[in-house]
Amino acid sequence: MVRIAMVAGEASSDQLAAHLITALRKHLPDASFHGIGGPKMQREGFESHWPAEMLAVRGYAEVLKHYRAITGMRRQLLRRLLKDRPDVFIGVDGSDFNLWLEKRLKAAGIPTIHFVSPSIWAWRKQRMGKIIDAVSHILALYPFEPELYRDTPVKCSYVGHPLADVIPLQSDQRAVRERLGVAQDRPVIALLPGSRQSELHFMAETFIETAKLLLEKQPRLQFLVPLVSRETRVQFETALWKLKADELPVTLMFGHAADAVAASDVALVASGTATLETALVGRPMVIAYKMSPWSWRLMRGMRYLPWVGLPNILAGRYVVPEFLQDDATPENLAQALGNLLVDKQAGVAISRVFDGVHRLLRQDTSSRAAEAVLPYLQRA
């Protein structure tokens, strides 16, 4: 039996890995999958030895709080994999955790595949040496990434982004609003404050204060807030209560971020995968992000691209506004969102750019990723 070990610690990684498992099972129906993974992977028959939520922390300060538990779990997993050797190891994103593990597995002769290239193009290019030591093959989501590995021994295959396959090229705003029970004749703003509790800790109140300012100028506004878990919903509801904003016209949703964005006119989005999802739906947006001051000082020193939002990076220019850390004030965010609501021509131009990005990333990702993995398993 072919044995495939995987680690995917976050919601977006869980989805990527689940699609890959499905694609691989078409070729290897009896393959076993185990390691650390979330609920979507487990529904595909994946055996998770530890809860994936233990890895869903972000930022240096946040990781340090959980450092002992995370490193202990990683050492235990390494011992397990070295004893019961898998035919291949696939680390899905989570480079801080997975590269350490991959380096030791590769040294032991186990092929290591990293699904999602570490963001060396945005923050930490000096890590290329670590990637070379740890990884046999990179599965890249973005078309500009293979060139980064051209002069290295690491193989890199562009596989596209799975969200581009799932999200339709055209979205019907009227139909989505009807399905969600959202008024057709009122402007709608989607608020996406993040998928992690650590992100909502820093951004929920800022997003709510922004909504309050917008409502003062446009009292007919309504807001859709998709949240990925019960915990993040409670966090957002607590922030509403704390800011005495219970009467805001806010509809909280469990998941369905793409629907919330499709029903909206513009969106306020925490930097990350959600900005790409919003771009693929074709909606104008404002990007915001805040983290602990200590984490921000460290990250800012590593940054060398002028943009952090994926839509701007993929377009190679400023297409949508970005407000980071101290600049991400309710006043700045409300002004930028208000401008997009009023300037319909700007919205149309942004949507055209996003359509080009969508078509570029639409590659049947899970099938292409499986094709890149299969040669390692066939050799096994």
Collapsing DSSP to helix, strand or coil, 90 comes out as: strand
- Both tokens of residue 345? 């021509």
The pLDDT score that the predictor gives to residue 199 is: 87
- From CA 140, how far away is CA 113, in angstroms rounded? 11
- Whether 16 and 92 have beta carbons less than 8 Å apart is answered as yes
The pLDDT score that the predictor gives to residue 51 is: 78
Question: CATH topology for 166-361?
Answer: Rossmann fold (3.40.50)
- Both tokens of residue 23? 């694609």
CA 269 vs CA 8, 23, 102: distances in Å: 23, 31, 32
3-160+363-379 carries CATH number 3.40.50.2000: yes
The pLDDT score that the predictor gives to residue 298 is: 62
Helices (H), 230-364: 230-242, 257-263, 273-281, 293-302, 310-315, 330-342, 344-361
Number of other residues whose CB lies within 10 A of the CB of residue 3 = 17
- From CA 247, how far away is CA 130, in angstroms rounded? 51
Q: How far, rounded to the nearest angstrom, does the alpha carbon of residue 331 sit from its chain's CA centroid?
A: 26
- Whether 41 and 48 have beta carbons less than 8 Å apart is answered as yes
Q: How far, rounded to the nearest angstrom, does the alpha carbon of residue 62 sit from its chain's CA centroid?
A: 18
For the chain, which residues make up each domain, given as ranges? 3-160+363-379, 166-361
* Neighbouring-strand partners of residue 250: 223
- From CA 320, how far away is CA 329, in angstroms rounded? 16
Bridging pattern class, strands 112-115 and 137-140: parallel
Each as own residue / partner, the long-range contacts of residues 79-87 (CB below 8 Å, 24 or more positions apart, any chain) are 80/49, 81/5, 81/35, 81/105, 81/110, 82/108, 84/3, 85/3, 85/110, 86/3, 86/4, 86/5, 86/34, 86/110, 87/2, 87/3, 87/4, 87/111, 87/376, 87/377, 87/380
Q: Which residues of the chain have pLDDT under 50?
A: 59-62
Helices (H), the chain: 11-27, 39-43, 60-65, 67-83, 95-107, 128-134, 162-166, 173-180, 197-217, 230-242, 257-263, 273-281, 293-302, 310-315, 330-342, 344-361, 365-379
Check for a shared fold between 3-160+363-379 and 166-361. Answer: yes
Q: Please tell me the pTM assigned to this model.
A: 0.80
- From CA 16, how far away is CA 21, in angstroms rounded? 9
The pLDDT score that the predictor gives to residue 27 is: 95
- Whether 263 and 281 have beta carbons less than 8 Å apart is answered as no
Rg value, the chain, Cα = 21
Collapsing DSSP to helix, strand or coil, 168 comes out as: coil
Between helix 197-217 and helix 230-242 the angle, nearest 10°, is 50
The pLDDT score that the predictor gives to residue 57 is: 52
